[in-house]
A and B are shown apart, each in its own frame.
Chain A
């Protein structure tokens, strides 16, 4: 069931992303520094494409599969998602 879109902050999305990426990488979420490029953790670019499916699942938000290429850190991606969610709410 999608998480309600209202009330997402960069912080809450950062937490969500770190948890999800930690799951992919078999690490603890606290090990994921939100300002370090995901590739440094060994998340290769093709694997990063899978994130968009998870985001769509949990936030009902359709983003480009390559979002993680253009916003290559947890922080950058969280900011992007906040903007996208806002745009979606605005458009709805």
Chain B
């Protein structure tokens, strides 16, 4: 029944094993093959069919069937437990193929199961891990319920209760809202209050299986209607004294906040990169439009502003993929540091993608507003994308994770830390397993910015592009210096979510610098390796850094014209050859 590559029986590879890359590429290709060309109207997973499912408020049945056959659930399960999950960046690559077609399917079929499961992988015991692995590899779904609408990001104030009962079990009381797949999941991960005391030691994470619950004591709340991901089954759960066994407790009682925060480091690192697929499709859609449409006696692609906008969107996609790459690989390589990297990724990537979509919509003109036809997928992705920024993963919540760490980073890390290991920036190099136990809530270390600082003396300056890069890196390092000064000067009251706007702006600038640092690292490694001619060319890095510097409010010198030409050429090449607009240049079905 499963046509996916056989996941079982594998042994852990060494860190430099090439087997990982071969498996990743094969898995991505397998998904592409099965999901097919979305622009082909005869494909049951065409954009037209996916749009029709969205209009009907349903998940594409053909899509779910395909993912069932592919055994996608196993991609969320560690290899040691019989699944395929060995690397977070690979999971991103795999899921991107689903997201480029339909966010609702990516989220509705799988990602929320992954978000739930991560709690168990990081903090659960062996029986829980094995049980969950069986559910997911068997095609089942798991829901995650952090959210209570009344409390939003502030989940420490959540009221949903798991009251400790006699015999070591719990009784569930209260409601959780906006839960994906609540009514069809085999199990739910519930973030629950286990003590009435205020503060951060009063919550626990429970893995509650649906089978065996007293059916009269709980119910699924009505489904939500939303502007995006209309096919997702978003609803809620209400419990009224439902008993659950003590074995439902994931990790220690009262340690729920830590469990959740550690799980966030993984999910916040991984989710944004999956969404890169949506903007890839949006860019591809607009390139098709621009090449085909005649305006003022020429194709839209010949209009300099349009060409520039498309190259800009491609640059943004590279930036987002690079930050995602660094964050996901850091979970393996620098687990102690991932708290800020993950938050910065979750903060910056959706923001940049949303802005890129907005700019692309200007080129697409009135077509972006139409819900069906050749370009209809654009507005669907536009509506769906914001779902990634809801609740605990919202922009402000992610900034609030960064803010308390700024002053320590300023004092201890920036301009003194060691640069990140080269492997962090090599998309196709193998990685050691996920060290769930080494994730920490804050470390005060930042090897990414150290890479940027170290690059200053190492960058070549032979070509105009290289000199442009060098000038930009100097400006960005200067910016880091300013961020450092401002962070050092932060008053204690400015280190919380109650901080003023200037401090939130500081977190924003820092996130941008992390992206710039990661891009510099990726180029250095690609140039050394030389295997990917495009990535080894400094032109793209100049473009990425230039846009990031402008985002920081700087007005850097104009780039050499060759940079725009190189990017434009690459935008066209990848469109014609049907390869992805990201670091991987992945062959696509369409």
Query: Which A residues fall within an 8 A CB radius of B?
Result: 42, 44
Cα A42 to Cα B298 in complex, Å, equals: 9
Q: Can you spell out 4 A-B residue pairs with CB atoms less than 8 angstroms apart?
A: A42-B297, A42-B298, A44-B296, A44-B297
Nearest B residue (CB) for A42: B297
Closest to B297 in A: A42
What total of A-B pairs shows CB separation below 8 Å?
A: 4
Q: Which residue of B lies closest to A45 (CB)?
A: B296
B298 — which chain A residues lie within 8 A by C-beta? 42
Tell me the bound Cα distance from A44 to B295 in angstroms.
11
Q: Which of B286-309 contact A (CB under 8 A)?
A: 296-298
- Chain B positions within 8 Å of A42 at CB level: 297-298
Chain A to chain B: the 3 pairs with minimum beta-carbon distance, closest first: A44-B296, A42-B297, A42-B298
A46 closest partner in B (C-beta): B296
Of residues 274 to 331 in B, which have CB atoms within 8 Å of A's CB atoms? 296-298
Complex-state Cα separation, A44 to B298, whole angstroms: 11
Interface string of B498-519 (1 = CB under 8 A from A): 0000000000000000000000
Q: When chains A and B are docked, how far (Å) is the Cα of A41 from the Cα of B296?
A: 12
CB nearest to A44 among chain B residues: B296
- Residues from chain B with a CB closer than 8 A to the CB of A44 are 296-297
Bound-complex Cα distance A42 to B294 (A)? 13
User: How far does the Cβ of B294 sit from chain A's closest Cβ, in whole Å?
Assistant: 13
Query: A84 to B112, alpha carbons, bound, how many Å?
Result: 74
Complex-state Cα separation, A84 to B298, whole angstroms: 35
* Chain A neighbourhood of B296, CB < 8 A: 44
Nearest A residue (CB) for B296: A44
Q: How far is the CA of A44 from the CA of B303 in the complex (A)?
A: 13
Q: How far is the CA of A1 from the CA of B439 in the complex (A)?
A: 73
Docked CA distance A42–B296 (Å): 8
A66 to B298, CA, bound (A): 23
Query: Least Cβ distance of B299 to chain A in Å?
Result: 13
Nearest Cβ on chain A to B524's Cβ, whole angstroms:
38
Query: Would you give the shortest CB distance from B221 to chain A, in whole angstroms?
Result: 56
Least CB separation from A47: chain B residue: B296
Q: In the complex the two chains form, what is the Cα distance from A42 to B295 in whole Å?
A: 12
Please, how many angstroms separate the alpha-carbon atoms of A44 and B297 in the complex? 9
Q: How far is the CB of B480 from chain A (nearest CB, A)?
A: 41
Distance from A48 Cβ to chain B, minimum over Cβ atoms (Å): 12
A residues less than 8 Å from B297 (CB atoms) = 42, 44
Q: How far is the CB of A17 from chain B (nearest CB, A)?
A: 21
Closest-CB distance, A22 to chain B (whole angstroms): 19
Q: In whole angstroms, how far apart are the Cα atoms of A44 and B294 in the complex?
A: 14
CB distance from B367 to the nearest CB of A (A): 22
CB distance from B252 to the nearest CB of A (A): 70
Residue of A nearest to B298 (CB): A42
CA distance A18 to B298 in the complex (A): 23
Kindly provide the distance from the CB of A50 to the nearest chain B CB, expressed in whole angstroms. 15
Query: Which chain B residue shows the least CB distance to A39?
Result: B297
Report the bound CA distance from A43 to B245 in whole Å.
78
Question: Complex Cα distance A42/B297, Å?
Answer: 8
A44 CA / B296 CA spacing, docked (Å)? 7
User: How many angstroms between the C-alpha atoms of A42 and B302 in the bound complex?
Assistant: 12
Mask for B179-215, Cβ within 8 A of A = 1, else 0?
0000000000000000000000000000000000000
Complex Cα distance, B298 from A20, in Å, reads 23
Closest to A40 in B: B297
- The smallest beta-carbon distance between A69 and chain B, in angstroms, is 16
Would you give the shortest CB distance from B242 to chain A, in whole angstroms? 69
A26 to chain B, nearest CB (A): 12
Cα–Cα, bound, A34→B297 (Å): 21
Shortest Cβ distance from A40 into chain B, in angstroms? 9
A16 to B317, CA, bound (A): 47
Q: State A4–B297 Cα separation when bound (angstroms).
A: 38
Q: How far is the CB of B575 from chain A (nearest CB, A)?
A: 25
Convert B126-159 into 0s and 1s, putting 1 for each residue whose CB lies closer than 8 angstroms to a CB of A: 0000000000000000000000000000000000
| Chain A nearest Cβ from B397, distance in angstroms | 47
B192 to chain A minimum Cβ distance, whole angstroms, is 64
Q: Min CB distance, A83 to chain B, in Å?
A: 30
Contact string against A for B residues 16-27, beta-carbon threshold 8 Å, 1 for contact and 0 otherwise: 000000000000
B304, chain A: closest CB distance, angstroms? 12
Q: Return B293 CB to nearest CB of chain A, in Å.
A: 16
Min CB–CB distance B302 → chain A (angstroms):
10
> CA of A84 to CA of B447 in the docked complex: distance in angstroms?
72
B298 to chain A, nearest CB (A): 8
Separation of A7 and B296 alpha carbons in the complex (Å): 38
